[in-house]
Amino acid sequence: MKQAMLTIGLAAMLSAQPPRRGEKNPVQAQSASTMAYSVKDGEQAIEITNVAYELTGNAIPGLPQDQRLILRKMSHTKEVVDEIGMEASTTIQAWPLGVDLKQKPVYALTASGVDPRTVNNQLLVLSRGLEEVEWWSVYKLGNAAHLFDTYTPLASLSIGVETQELRYVGLEVPDDDVKDSRLRAPNVVAVLTYASGDRVTREALITCDKTDLATLLRSFADATRKVTVAEHRLPAAQSSNSIRISITPNYPSAPVEYAITVPIVKDDLDMAHVTAPAGVHIAVWRR
């Protein structure tokens, strides 16, 4: 599933400087979107290339405060009509606003997946689920460095009071051929990730004492997962956030929900006050 080709090319910002204020330096660029349809041996195939340009906001983590980027997002898909799955690859290139796009981009990210989108002017999110399982890869918008993968839709929250400080939550479910051998242990269920726009703050490993139950809860086909963020009240009229992870076996198994709640305190996971079902555990974990 994760046999993705990922290449990140980084160029120095100094090699692609935007024009100074007041200078007139018009920039134009165009790219063609294409579609090709064919029939062979009774199978209908369609191949589509879509290209889109996007202007980011400023205050991107890791970049100068006033720096904006122009993104060129190109997705190429090939699929057989009425069959599950497709071949897909997406390339995202970035230039400082005002730079001629004939110059080398400050980065180029290529990976299997579709639907590239920016989130809160901090992240790039790419849909990687090309077959039956939905999952996403999350990258830094400023340099396309990989942050984490998630098998539930990306969740976000604000920890700031006077100003919004955004944080992000994902849940990675290891597949059978995951490279990290620790994640192939029979008691492993998933990895919870808590991150900002420029770094992973904390990861936590979810395990289960009963290996047959762990296998069921980790299964892509036999369990449904959901991650939500909720606010709750603390003493002295303070408020805080908590992450709720819900895993429910699918039919024909009994639809028993296994729910884990992880409070967030001082911009970190509060592992001392986690609530989890008997036999299910969550602990700090590092790659």
Predicted confidence (pLDDT) per residue in 96-138, tens digit: 999 999 999 999 999 999 999 999 999 999 999 877 789 999 9
Q: What mean pLDDT comes out for the span 253-266?
A: 93
Question: How many whole angstroms separate alpha carbon 115 and alpha carbon 264?
Answer: 30
Residue 26 lies in a domain: no
Q: What mean pLDDT comes out for the span 228-244?
A: 72
pLDDT band per the 50, 70, 90 thresholds, residue 176: confident
Q: What mean pLDDT comes out for the span 33-53?
A: 89
Q: Of 125, 147, 169, which residue sits at a domain end? A: 147
Q: Of 113, 130, 147, which residue sits at a domain end? A: 147
Residue 39 lies in a domain: yes
Q: Does 239 have pLDDT greater than 60? A: no
Q: Does 19 have pLDDT greater than 70? A: no
Total count of domains within the chain: 2
Q: Of 115, 147, 179, which residue sits at a domain end? A: 147
> Does one domain contain both 95 and 207?
no
Residue 24 lies in a domain: no
* CB neighbour burial string for 180-210, b if at least 16 within 10 angstroms, e if fewer: eeebeeebbbbbbbbbbbbebebbbbbbbee
Residue 242 lies in a domain: yes
**Domain with 208 in it:** 151-287
pLDDT, position 161: 65
| pTM to 2 decimal places | 0.86
Decide: residue 170, CB within 10 A, 0-12 exposed, 13-18 middle, 19+ buried: buried
Share of the chain above pLDDT 70, in %: 87
> Does one domain contain both 263 and 241?
yes
pLDDT band per the 50, 70, 90 thresholds, residue 233: low
Evaluate the omega torsion of the peptide bond into residue 252 and state whether it is cis, within 30 degrees of 0: yes
